[in-house]
Amino acid sequence: MLEDYSKVLGFGVEYREEGLARFLAPKLPSSKNYAPTSLPAFYNPKSKSNRDMTILFLKAFFQDRKISVCEPLAGIGIRTIRMFLETGIIENSVVNDISRNAYELMKINFKLNNIESNVEIKNRDANELLTSLRRRFTYVDIDPAGSPATFLENGFRSCFKKDSVLAATSTDLSALTGSKPTSCFRKYGVYSIKTPFSKEIALRILAGFMVKTAARLGLSAEPVLSFIKDHYARVFVKIRYGIERAKKVLKNLGWISYCKVCGNIQTSSIPDPPQLKCVFCNADMLTVGLVWIGELTNRELVSKMLQEALENKQLYGDISKLLQYLVDEDSSMIGYYPVNYLASKLSVNPVKPTHLIEELRKMGYRATHVHMDSSAVKTEAPINIIKDIFKLLSKR
Ligand SMILES: C[S@@+](CC[C@H](N)C(=O)[O-])C[C@H]1O[C@@H](n2cnc3c(N)ncnc32)[C@H](O)[C@@H]1O
């Protein structure tokens, strides 16, 4: 049977399983260092966490509401197949991939999973598809290898104007985290910078770009779930219609300034200019903007996702740790400090993040762990207080 499929497709395939889906994927090379983009059709087992999070998000956000879904860059279809099998709320769907091989494999995979009605499988360029469909969806998932920037505007145009969601993945983390600032500027209109909390800046650049793109179309887009894991960043935004709403959401765009000398982080929101001088040491600050400076993740929503992950460990156990971090993390605070960074700034031994968090809380400051860096602390406390407590703790 496998050989028959391989013959028809013109490349080797193998059976694989993920979640409740059983499907055919291109035969993966035995070496671990292959690029999924080099396969005859794209499939990356390492993105399972991305797909797991998507399933749990849909269940927690839409609950029993029946939804329509569009996945314009679907690879071999696993994500949408899992949505059908694991959420039970998908009414209909359009899946698409520009690669002929991926398209052919996708058709087989939907059949193998007995999902044949209510699915349209297409083989087109994603932007062409989205502009020609003249249809709107409750959920649009933009999941490219690289930057989602070129697909977002058409993605938003394809979302229902009320209470729909668009999710975007970005794997161009070198651009977003400050290693390739010019490339980041070209794609997202923001010069990224290198800081101890570059991963959070990456999420805030992506979220800000999504919010601005939606606002141009008269839509308000509000981040409800944002995270970075392994090789990718992912942001889910809730969409509503209305220029006034869009303007209100845009107030959460602003500048983040970071002092390389003392570590201080300051923010300012539009229409104020970026803060260029450190209020603690008067040094010049690095600034990045305009980025999203509001809350990145709704903790109530991720609590529901965590509950489901814990009740269904066999399927979603792999992401329960990430979800626990997201439940703990207060993303309304900007930036974070890895303990090694503080230790080297102060020339003392590092302390455990948990101890630093406890002490800061005792003093009345909000302080939490960070999903992007388990060695870091996020807090509203000023840098001088953080350093004083850190020094005391490192002496104990
Ligand atoms: C990261 S993969 C998608 C993985 C899939 N969403 C999943 O969860 O398994 C990106 C896919 O986008 C496809 N692609 C790249 N450029 C495209 C375009 N302009 N239009 C449609 N598909 C495109 C590639 O062939 C590839 O299969």
Spatial CA neighbour of 205 closest among 165, 167, 176, 169? 176
Q: Is the CB of 18 under 6 A from ligand 1?
A: no
Q: What average pLDDT does the segment 122-140 reach?
A: 97
Q: Is the peptide bond before 306 cis (omega within 30 degrees of 0)?
A: no
Phi and psi torsions of 152, nearest 5°: -70, -40
CA 74 / ligand 1 centre spacing (Å): 5
Domain boundaries, the chain: 42-251, 297-395
Cα distance between residue 368 and residue 163, in whole Å: 30
Instruction: Please state at what angle helix 100-112 crosses helix 78-87, rounded to 10 degrees.
Output: 20
pLDDT value, residue 259: 98
Pocket test for ligand 1, best of 39, 50, 71, 73 (most atoms within 8 A of CB): 73
Spatial CA neighbour of 148 closest among 122, 121, 119, 175? 175
Query: Is a pLDDT exceeding 90 seen at residue 60?
Result: yes
Q: Is the CB of 80 under 6 A from ligand 1?
A: no
> Bridge-partner residues for 227, per DSSP?
234
pLDDT value, residue 329: 98
Instruction: Please state at what angle helix 198-216 crosses helix 243-250, rounded to 10 degrees.
Output: 160
pLDDT value, residue 319: 98
Q: Is the peptide bond before 72 cis (omega within 30 degrees of 0)?
A: no
CA 144 / ligand 1 centre spacing (Å): 5
Position 34 confidence tier, pLDDT thresholds 50, 70, 90: confident
pLDDT in tens, 225-262: 999 999 999 999 999 999 999 999 999 999 999 999 99
CA 192 / ligand 1 centre spacing (Å): 25
Query: Is a pLDDT exceeding 90 seen at residue 33?
Result: no
Dihedral sign, CA of 96, 102, 108, 109?
negative
Q: Is the CB of 102 under 6 A from ligand 1?
A: yes
Cα distance between residue 102 and residue 25, in whole Å: 9
Fold of 297-395: Phenylalanyl-tRNA Synthetase; Chain B, domain 1 (3.30.56)
Position 1 confidence tier, pLDDT thresholds 50, 70, 90: confident
pLDDT in tens, 213-233: 999 999 999 999 999 999 999
Q: What average pLDDT does the segment 271-291 reach?
A: 97
Q: What average pLDDT does the segment 54-70 reach?
A: 98
Query: Is a pLDDT exceeding 90 seen at residue 107?
Result: yes
What is the ipTM for the molecules in this complex? 0.99
Q: Is the CB of 47 under 6 A from ligand 1?
A: yes
Beta strands in the chain (DSSP E): 13-18, 21-26, 67-71, 90-96, 119-122, 139-142, 162-170, 219-229, 232-241, 253-258, 265-269, 286-292, 337-338, 367-368, 376-379
CA 205 / ligand 1 centre spacing (Å): 22
Q: What is the DSSP letter of 282?
A: -
CA 112 / ligand 1 centre spacing (Å): 21
Question: Relative to the CA of 76, which ligand 1 atom is closest?
Answer: 9
Fold of 42-251: Rossmann fold (3.40.50)
Domain 42-251 shares a fold with domain 297-395: no
Q: Is the CB of 373 under 6 A from ligand 1?
A: no
Q: What is the DSSP letter of 378?
A: E
Dihedral sign, CA of 23, 25, 30, 33?
negative
Cα distance between residue 227 and residue 94, in whole Å: 26
